[in-house]
Structure 1
Amino acid sequence: MNAPTEYLNPTEAARKLGVSVKALRIYEQRGLIEPTRTEAGWRTYGPKAMDRASEIVALRAMGLSLAQIANALGQEDVDLDALLAAHQSLLEGQMRQIAEKAERVRQRRSHIARRQPEETADETRTSPTPAPPAVVFELPWPWGGERFELLDIHPLNYVIGPLGSGKTRLAHRLAETLPGGVFIGLDRLADGAAKTKTQLAKDPGLSARVEEALTELAANGAERSDALLSLLAVLERDCEEIPVIDLIEQGLHRPSQRALIAYLRGRRANTKPLFIITRSSAILDLDRVGVHESIILCPANHSPPTPVTAYPGAPGYEAVATCLATPEIRARTEGVIAIRTNPQ
């Protein structure tokens, strides 16, 4: 025996579809659906009407207008895929515009955070003048001499990209160009950080600052290690250097990485800038990037490095996200990455 066909009244149909009864009435007025009528004249929605209404609701959730939906569903020769492709292109363009606006807001907030209140007040009374680039240079291979401009140096700057993207070459050029720039490579870990330990033995002041920092990080879950020691010896130097650190997570387990990035965020706003290469999602948590931080992406196709806003839908956001891995995965590929990055 066949099961009876289910017909729903407007309230039941609207509840099942997740829309209002008024929305169903509008769909009907536009000729998009045609409910069945009872002998008493009441509207009911059978399987055919509900399937059609579900399709309309799905297309509306994608942002299509009722006019577009009427055109798509009302003509057999309309290419729905082409219509959706055009709509997707429109949405992506809007996301790029929003991302660009969000980046301008972020930069503005960053400038305000670093300026005196009276300077900010003066700015509001005059037309803003674009700031000159903080650093400009010709990019090395594989970019072939293209011009690179870094418009704003933040206290904490991430350099990221897939293997072979040139991020370490970019880091070397940044260290060469930045005033006081110094590249800190993976050789910091050689022989159990022997070079660092010798340096600390000769500099009691630095040794004391490093020990204080180690104690702070250990209290937040970090593990004392040669890798962490070598980083803190760089970070606690009493000089005007701008460190550019290769694979800052190398040799650190997850709790240490989390403690380290919290430590960096806590001190970066009031001290020298720092550039770090990373591919760890514990170091670069895209949900926690703040106004004092920036991301520079080296794309896989060797397009010029570009700033990326940590905002879903922003240009380059997905590419950055795909470069990141958990500390456990990064630890398993540590040797491969060291071999591939050192020659850069």
Structure 2
Amino acid sequence: MSQFLNASDAARRLGISTKALRLYEQRGLLAPVRSDAGWRAYGPADLERAAEIVALRALGFSLAQVARLLKGDASGLEPALAGHEATLEARLREVVAALEGVRALRGDLARGGAPTASDLARTLVPTPGLHLAFELPWPWGGERFELRDIRPLTYITGPLGSGKTRLAMRIADELDGVFLGLDRAADRALQSKIELTVGLLIQDGATDTPALRALLTGLEASRPVVVDLVEQGLDRATQEAVIAHLRRRGRGAPPLFVMTRSSSILDLDALGPDEMVLFCPANHAPPFRVAPYPGTPGHEALASCLATPEVRARSEGVIAVRR
């Protein structure tokens, strides 16, 4: 058993959590052997397979897509790769622009010129993305809130009564965006525009329901969209298919904010560079960004707010009220 690793060591080598390894096993993607004491043991073949899963997840594939790809089924691969290609092209344009700026500075130096500090800062520091600044609504005390370098996909979460819905609505107002509440309904005028997406999601394991169509038509807005509990009315497979689709939107799409408490939507082991998490604490301290790494500030509290769709279904419809 010298070539085998326990779950903690295997997860550390792969750069993921032990929870992710257990999830891969639950989905039939991994089958580690058991030691005489009943502990999971991961051999070279398990680690190679797990590394493939991690790489595919980093490309934005859902676990259902990963399962099909590992079986040699390439259906649904084209739109996923197209979305990843668009993201890479956007990053490439940023790198090319920075490279051209550095070359211009070197040219100035060769001609005897000296760049100023502001010239260097503009060239060497990435241009900040969209940012927000406003006073927080109730239940906060009007504290100043700033959100810089907004990513294409932002998750908003927190325990019941933490104020995350009010924060989401305020963000929608500040961005002149659209807020999709829980009472959303499908826009019949947009049905034809979402048929291709519905078909792709069904292929990825989703169930075609009014809730899914209401969500997709709401996302067709050309402005930033903020969604209240994006998982509302969607089963586990549909949630996983939807979030995999949303993660492939790319940097050119309007910012999207999704409220969630589902671990199938907010998978902390699968967050990419174009995603960020906003956490609203239970004690009504100001919301803050949480990095998806164990041990970072807020990570443990964030993880405790997330649950599987089956567990979340027990509290569906429960709201926090102020007496």
Give the corresponding residue for 2:177.
Answer: 181
- 2:112 is equivalent to residue 134 of structure 1: no
| C-alpha contact 2:151 2:275 (8 A) present in aligned 1 | yes
Q: Residues 259-314 of structure 1, C-alpha deviation per residue, up to 9 Å, x if partnerless?
A: 00111112243311100000000000000000000000101111101011111111
RMSD: 2.4
Aligned runs of 1:200-279 on 2, under 5 Å?
Answer: 200=188, 203=189, 206-237=190-221, 239=222, 241-279=223-261
Specify the SS of the correspondent of 2:200: helix
- Residues 323, 172 of structure 1: CA spacing in aligned structure 2 closer, same or farther, 3 A cutoff? same
Q: Distance in 2 between matches of 1:230 and 1:340?
A: 25
Specify the SS of the correspondent of 1:153: coil
Residue type at the aligned position of 2:134 = F
Give the corresponding residue for 2:71.
Answer: none
Q: Distance in 2 between matches of 1:114 and 1:142?
A: 42
| C-alpha contact 2:290 2:296 (8 A) present in aligned 1 | yes
Deviation at 1:120, TM superposition (A): 2.0
Q: How many residues align?
A: 217
Q: Distance in 2 between matches of 1:137 and 1:307?
A: 16
Q: Distance in 2 between matches of 1:133 and 1:243?
A: 14
- Residues 185, 121 of structure 1: CA spacing in aligned structure 2 closer, same or farther, 3 A cutoff? same
Q: Distance in 2 between matches of 1:299 and 1:133?
A: 24
- Residues 223, 132 of structure 1: CA spacing in aligned structure 2 closer, same or farther, 3 A cutoff? closer
Specify the SS of the correspondent of 1:340: coil
| C-alpha contact 2:130 2:150 (8 A) present in aligned 1 | no
Q: Distance in 1 between matches of 2:151 and 2:129?
A: 15
Specify the SS of the correspondent of 1:186: coil
Deviation at 1:123, TM superposition (A): 6.1
Q: Distance in 1 between matches of 2:171 and 2:238?
A: 27
Q: Residues 28-69 of structure 1, C-alpha deviation per residue, up to 9 Å, x if partnerless?
A: xxxxxxxxxxxxxxxxxxxxxxxxxxxxxxxxxxxxxxxxxx
Q: Normalising by structure 1, what TM-score?
A: 0.59
Q: Distance in 1 between matches of 2:183 and 2:240?
A: 23
Q: Residues 96-130 of structure 1, C-alpha deviation per residue, up to 9 Å, x if partnerless?
A: xxxxxxxxxxxxx99x8275333222566623558
Specify the SS of the correspondent of 2:134: strand
Q: Distance in 2 between matches of 1:218 and 1:132?
A: 34
Give the corresponding residue for 2:149.
Answer: 152
Q: Please identify, of 128-137 and 226-235, the stretch whose mean Cα deviation from structure 2 is larger.
A: 128-137
Q: Normalising by structure 2, what TM-score?
A: 0.62
Give the corresponding residue for 1:33.
Answer: none
Q: Distance in 1 between matches of 2:211 and 2:204?
A: 17
Say which of 125, 140, 143 aligns to 1:143.
140
Specify the SS of the correspondent of 1:259: helix
Work out which of the two has the higher radius of gyration on C-alpha atoms and give 1 or 2.
1
| C-alpha contact 2:129 2:150 (8 A) present in aligned 1 | no
Q: Residues 108-167 of structure 1, C-alpha deviation per residue, up to 9 Å, x if partnerless?
A: x99x82753332225666235584871110001111110000111111000010011110
| C-alpha contact 2:182 2:229 (8 A) present in aligned 1 | yes
Q: Percent same amino acid among aligned pairs?
A: 51
More helix by share: 1
Q: Please identify, of 131-140 and 290-299, the stretch whose mean Cα deviation from structure 2 is larger.
A: 131-140
